[in-house]
Structure 1
Amino acid sequence: MTAVDLVLSAAFIAFAALSITLAVIDIRTHRLPNAIVLPAYPVTLVVLTVCCLLGEDWGRLARGLIGALALFVFYLALRLMSPRGMGGGDVKLAGLLGLLLAWVGWTALAVGTLAGFVLGGLYGIGLLAARRADRRTAIPFGPWMLAGAWIGIAVAVWSGDPLLSSVR
């Protein structure tokens, strides 16, 4: 196992803990706190930069930054089109997820983004079918975004777009 592998392993273990924390908070409060989401940006950028300094391809960091911007802008556009349909916390979380998913690969970004919407949509349909919600009922979307991100990471790793250099 290389130094990059160790740093990335620690980073994704931390991301798992962050994912659980944010999902629980969003389920309970319908909020994704800035105090948790925003500090994750510089921490993640530093960790990924350290990986590049240790020998990882700088193109991964560039791809991650492009993914962060793309997903942030996409979610921001959704928020602007329907402010009641997408929360500001979701928009902020999207940039972080875009950074991590695109670092893993374009497959992870595409699958992770789509999976979040599919999971959230299925949950909403289930609530409607069970008559536990109507079209105006707010549902926390952060947990579905995070679950989708983990699905995207898993699919990318299994499909040969690996997260860790030792998997290559």
Structure 2
Amino acid sequence: MTTVLLASVLSALWTVADVLDAPPSSFVLACVGIVLAVIDLRHHRLPDALTLPLGAALLLLAFHGLGAAVLSALVFGGAHLIVRRLRPEFMGGGDVKLAFGLGAALPLPSLLPAAILASAVTLALAVLRRRRAVPHGPGLLAATWALTTL
């Protein structure tokens, strides 16, 4: 059942990105993001084996504006690192590494909306699951995909 659900969600994301003529980063985020979100929801972990190549791929896809992509990655990841340092119970290290990578796909003006949207998705997950502690990775991935695609 999980495989069918994942395939359906990936198909929907891929179709939306295709119809909207989204950048290549949207397709990469759809494929890897689905897998990362499921892993994070089930195990509360974001494996480096997926997050680090995702970040590298998103940087490579931004080759025409590499300087801006690196700056966005540093700002977005740095903000998450500050939260992690100040309140480690709010965010895991995998979320910080993921934020550095995802920042490369977002233009600088989209970073604040991405953080707000990611937090809203995480809050919605907490309400739906009726838990206080929910992973933040799915929210980060959903927000980044939405802002790069729509």
Q: TM-score range by the shorter chain?
A: 0.7 to 0.9
Alignment gaps of 5+ in structure 2: 1-21
TM-score by length of structure 2 reads 0.75
- Residue correspondence of structure 1 range 8-157 to structure 2 within 5 A: 9-49=23-63, 52=64, 60-102=65-107, 106=109, 108-127=110-129, 132-133=130-131, 137-154=132-149, 157=150
- How far apart are 1:14 and its partner, in Å? 2.0
Separation in structure 2 between the aligned mates of residue 84 and residue 100 of structure 1, nearest angstrom: 27
Runs of 4+ more than 3 Å apart: 8-11
- How far apart are 1:126 and its partner, in Å? 4.8
Alignment gaps of 5+ in structure 1: 1-7, 53-59, 158-168
TM-score by length of structure 1 reads 0.68
Separation in structure 2 between the aligned mates of residue 99 and residue 14 of structure 1, nearest angstrom: 13
Q: What letter matches 2:122 in structure 1?
A: G
Identity %: 33
- How far apart are 1:125 and its partner, in Å? 4.2
Give the paired residue count. Answer: 129
CA offsets, 1:85-144, max 9 Å, x none?
Answer: 100000000011111012xx62x33322210012212332455xxxx33xxx42111011
CA offsets, 1:47-99, max 9 Å, x none?
Answer: 322xx2xxxxxxx3222111100011100110011111100000000011111
> What is the root-mean-square deviation of aligned Cα atoms in Å?
2.0
